[in-house]
Amino acid sequence: MALLEVKDLKMYYKVRRGDVKAVDGVSFEIEKGEAMGLAGESGCGKSSMATTLLRLLPNNGRILDGSIKFDGKEILDLPEEQFRQDYRWQRMSIIFQGAMNALNPVHRIGKQISEAIITHENVSKNEAKKRAEELLEMVGINSERYRNYPHEFSGGMKQRAVIAMALACNPDLIIADEPTTALDVMVQAQVLEAIQSLRKKMGLSMLLISHDLSVIAQTCDKVAIMYAGRIVEYGPSTKVYNNPLHPYSYGLLSSFPDIMAPRSPIQSIPGSPPNLLEPPSGCRFSPRCPLADSKCFTDEPELMAIDGKNHLVACHKAGALGKVGEQS
Amino acid sequence: MIGSLKAIWAKVAKLRGDLQVNFGSYILRRVIYALIVLFVIITVNFFIFRVMPGDPVKMIIDPKMKPEVREALYEQYGLKKPMSEQYFLYLKNLLTLNLGLSFTTSRPIMDELLERLPNTLKLLGIALILEILIGVSVGIFAASKRGSAVETFVTSAGLFTHAVPGFFFQLILLLLFGFLIPIFPIRGTMSAPPPVGAWAQLLDRIHHLILPVFSLVIINFGYWALYTRNAMVEALGQDYIVTARAKGLSKKTVLRHHAFRSILPPIITIIFLSLPGIISGAVVTETIFSWFGVGRYLLDAVLKQDYPAAQGAFYFIALLTIISNFVADIVYGLVDPRIRVGGGEGK
């Protein structure tokens, strides 16, 4: 049984002009100890996915349908108070994008970590403080900095402190929402390494949300490519990276320059992501897809296995892609 | 040329940096700043009454008086001395807190102010505390119910009561509850003659306080409620609030410990900044409710061209303003860790 099972999840934001279909029928699973990457352009619903999992939606966000099973237990119908106490941070913690603002500027770093421990576990203040200091050491921050305020930390240190905070209650799953986006490449590498080694050591599962495919390739066992609120391709990282089956994944992958390859112009995907208020009929990628034909504009493709058992793709043209790849 | 400019600029920057290194020098800079402001204010305060039209002596002297007698009076009040001499005398007296004698009553102004000050502090102080407590709580509550009818009601009510002219509302209150339904006294700080017994006197004073305090709370709570609500809404939209919620903290903890705590520095600042308003704001309220306080004294002094009295009252307000600003700066430094070390830098 998988640790996290998401099935046909639908989450819409209600706005004056209708519903923004940010998460529209998404399914995936994360096994214990596994890391899954969720990739896609800005505004495709990746971060909404994260806030939906933790039920931290803004007032206009509604979960309409689907199920989220954590360790086999349905968590969507749990009462708010129970979910807050037993699941948030205790089982699932989150590292937000932009650690710069994820820490409260008027509270000491250490206090913000031990606060999480005290909320969920019946421990004394001193004990919580000791554990917070250990956590700081674990991410390479001197425990004497417990009493520091966020503005006294550098960006990379803040992000590491946020990681330490995410580990505070020994969760089973960490959701990392663009954990390294605000950092420069060197610090980014350090932070990723820290996440990776801690994850291995503690046997944590992770959902890594990023638009940066190289970050996902480095850290994740499998990857889901999201487009306009749906998953369009889903499978083991090696398979998806080496043999993308969806034209969008293909476009996304080729829009990244390869440092080893001979110099060539960067490919981009023409057009822009659709408005999620009224997504295109049929395949949502069809208006931007070079392969689209009449069927693509009317029928929505199902996510299904094409190549082997665990590599899924939602595309009528999945088979035809190889040829395009050769042409370009 | 540009090189030397750069060198000078670097020196200035370094000097600024050195000054910002510790809290001590931060306080020192604030003190110097406060003294400069004080000097400017008392200077302006001096000249403003000298250029005002009208002759003060006419207020206290019978016009039928002989010119010689009038001259003698001018002499007695020091109004015949050259302006510069008057000015230095004035500076010396202010530094020694000698505010001089009132033109109208011939009593020391300091004594007149001090006997009125407790009344003003009681009225405006109680009103201010209630305004803040009620306004801030209502603001927090409105922000926590974002988008609901409660929020709309609080914002509209706050805006409305704040927009209604205060004196008008106070006059209506006085008409309603002092005259038409006479359950509260129309005027004064206490009944004359005062009732016998300590308890009866206390109750009598409270009875006189209710209407003016109530009116001030209604007029001003909206300012606090709207300010708090706006700051809270902004704070609640911050990433660290989502983090706090994700940590599984209860709604109450997120609201109080994270959102409200982070807007505490600006709230404390505006509380201190509003302190001087206790006296200047008292002018209208004290006049309407015939309150024996500093505000009404100030108005009377201005109307009667009682230079020393008006100057003294203004000096009082200026001093209070400067001290409040100074304390606000220091307290801000204490509650906001980002200010504590550097002077405003390091966001």
Give the pLDDT confidence of A73-84 residue by residue, as tens digits: 999 999 999 999
What confidence score (pLDDT) does residue A323 get? 46
Which residue matches tokens 């209150």? B173
Q: pLDDT by residue (tens digit) across B189-209? A: 888 787 888 888 889 989 999
> Which structural domain range is residue B263 located in?
112-340
Distance from the A273 Cα atom to the nearest Cα atom in chain B, whole angstroms? 25
| Measured distance CA(B342)–CA(B25) in Å, rounded | 10
Residues β-bridged to residue A312: A234, A305
Partners of residue A59 in chain B, C-beta under 8 Å: 146-147
B150 falls within a domain: yes
What confidence score (pLDDT) does residue A104 get? 92
B293 falls within a domain: yes
Q: Is the pLDDT of residue B343 over 50?
A: no
pLDDT band at A117 (very low <50, low <70, confident <90, very high): very high
**CA-based nearest residue to A207, from A167, A175, A180:** A175
**Concatenated DSSP letters of A78-147:** S-HHHHHHHTBTTTEEEE-S-GGGTS-TTS-HHHHHHHHHHHHS---HHHHHHHHHHHHHHTT--GGGGG
| Measured distance CA(A70)–CA(A73) in Å, rounded | 5
Q: Is the pLDDT of residue B323 over 60?
A: yes
B90 falls within a domain: no
What confidence score (pLDDT) does residue A259 get? 74
Please indicate if any CB of chain B lies within 8 Å of the CB of A57: no
Structure letter (DSSP) for residue B108: B
Q: Is the pLDDT of residue A324 over 50?
A: no
Q: Is the pLDDT of residue B17 over 80?
A: no
B18 falls within a domain: no
Q: Of all residues in chain A, what percent carry a pLDDT higher than 90? A: 51
pLDDT band at A101 (very low <50, low <70, confident <90, very high): confident
Please give the average per-residue pLDDT across A232-256, as a whole number.
88
Cβ–Cβ gap A149/B337 under 8 Å: yes
Q: Is the pLDDT of residue B96 over 60?
A: yes
Describe the crossing of helices B149-163 and B198-236 by its angle, rounded to 10 degrees: 120
Peptide bond into B193 cis (omega under 30): yes
Q: Which chain A residue has the Cα nearest residue B346? A: A151
Residue-averaged pLDDT of chain B: 82
Partners of residue A120 in chain B, C-beta under 8 Å: 248
Burial class (CB in 10 A: 0-12, 13-18, 19+), B340: middle
Please indicate if any CB of chain B lies within 8 Å of the CB of A85: yes
More confident residue, A262 or B58: A262
Partners of residue A78 in chain B, C-beta under 8 Å: none
Q: pLDDT by residue (tens digit) across B115-146? A: 998 898 899 989 999 999 999 999 999 999 88
pLDDT band at A328 (very low <50, low <70, confident <90, very high): very low
Please indicate if any CB of chain B lies within 8 Å of the CB of A135: no
What confidence score (pLDDT) does residue A180 get? 81
| Measured distance CA(A325)–CA(A318) in Å, rounded | 12
B286 falls within a domain: yes
Q: pLDDT by residue (tens digit) across B66-88? A: 777 777 767 766 677 787 888 88
Q: Is the distance from CB of B295 to CB of B120 less than 8 angstroms?
A: yes
Partners of residue B245 in chain A, C-beta under 8 Å: 56, 88
Find how far residue A246's CA is from the centre of its chain: 20
Q: Per-residue b/e over B174-190, b at no fewer than 16 CB within 10 Å?
A: beebbeeeeebbeeebb
Domains of chain A: 33-49+79-220 (3.40.50.300), 235-328 (no CATH)
Q: What Cα–Cα distance (Å) separates residue B253 from each residue in A6, A168, B45, B244, B260?
A: 30, 18, 49, 9, 10
Q: Which chain B residue has the Cα nearest residue A52? A: B246
- Which stretch of DSSP H or E encloses residue B45? helix B23-50
What confidence score (pLDDT) does residue B55 get? 64
Q: Is the distance from CB of A202 to CB of A167 less than 8 angstroms?
A: yes
Cβ–Cβ gap A151/B346 under 8 Å: yes
Q: Is the pLDDT of residue A250 over 70?
A: yes
Q: pLDDT by residue (tens digit) across A32-45? A: 999 999 998 888 88
Partners of residue B234 in chain A, C-beta under 8 Å: none
Q: Which chain B residue has the Cα nearest residue A87? A: B248
Side chain identity at residue B277, one-letter code: G
Q: Is the distance from CB of A28 to CB of A6 less than 8 angstroms?
A: yes
**CA-based nearest residue to A13, from A77, A44, A51, A58:** A58
Q: Is the pLDDT of residue A240 over 60?
A: yes
State the best of B240, B251, B267, B340 to mutate against chain A, taking most chain A CBs within 10 Å.
B240
Lowest mean pLDDT among A151-155, A204-208, B44-48, B204-208: B44-48
B124 Cβ neighbours under 8 A, 6+ residues apart: B216, B278, B279, B281, B282, B285
Partners of residue B344 in chain A, C-beta under 8 Å: none
Partners of residue A107 in chain B, C-beta under 8 Å: 258, 261
Q: Say how many domains are in chain B.
A: 1
Lowest mean pLDDT among A59-63, A193-197, B211-215, B332-336: B332-336
Cβ–Cβ gap B146/A106 under 8 Å: no
Lowest mean pLDDT among B35-44, B197-206, B271-280: B271-280
What confidence score (pLDDT) does residue A13 get? 94
Residue-averaged pLDDT of chain A: 88
Q: pLDDT by residue (tens digit) across A153-201? A: 988 899 889 989 999 999 999 999 988 877 788 888 888 888 888 888 8
What confidence score (pLDDT) does residue A325 get? 44
Which residue from A96, A115, A119 is facing B242, i.e. has the nearest CB? A96
B332 falls within a domain: yes
CATH code where residue B122 lies: 1.10.3720.10
Lowest mean pLDDT among A69-83, A216-230, A247-261: A247-261
Both structure tokens of B48: 């403003």
Q: What Cα–Cα distance (Å) separates residue B94 from each residue in A127, B43, B58, B90, B316?
A: 59, 11, 26, 6, 10
Distance from the B237 Cα atom to the nearest Cα atom in chain A, whole angstroms? 10
Please give the average per-residue pLDDT across B169-179, as a whole number.
90
Partners of residue A88 in chain B, C-beta under 8 Å: 245-248
Please indicate if any CB of chain B lies within 8 Å of the CB of A104: yes
Cβ–Cβ gap A106/B238 under 8 Å: no
Q: Is the pLDDT of residue A6 over 90?
A: yes
Q: How many CB atoms lie within 10 A of CB A238?
A: 13
Q: Is the pLDDT of residue B172 over 80?
A: yes
What confidence score (pLDDT) does residue B14 get? 57
Sheet holding A73-74, edge to edge: A18-30, A4-15, A61-70, A73-74
Q: Is the pLDDT of residue B1 over 60?
A: no
Cβ–Cβ gap A56/B245 under 8 Å: yes
Partners of residue B248 in chain A, C-beta under 8 Å: 84-85, 87-90, 116, 119-120
**Concatenated DSSP letters of A169-199:** T--SEEEEESTTTTS-HHHHHHHHHHHHHHH
Q: pLDDT by residue (tens digit) across A272-314? A: 888 888 888 889 999 888 888 888 899 989 888 876 678 899 9
Q: Which chain A residue has the Cα nearest residue B264? A: A106
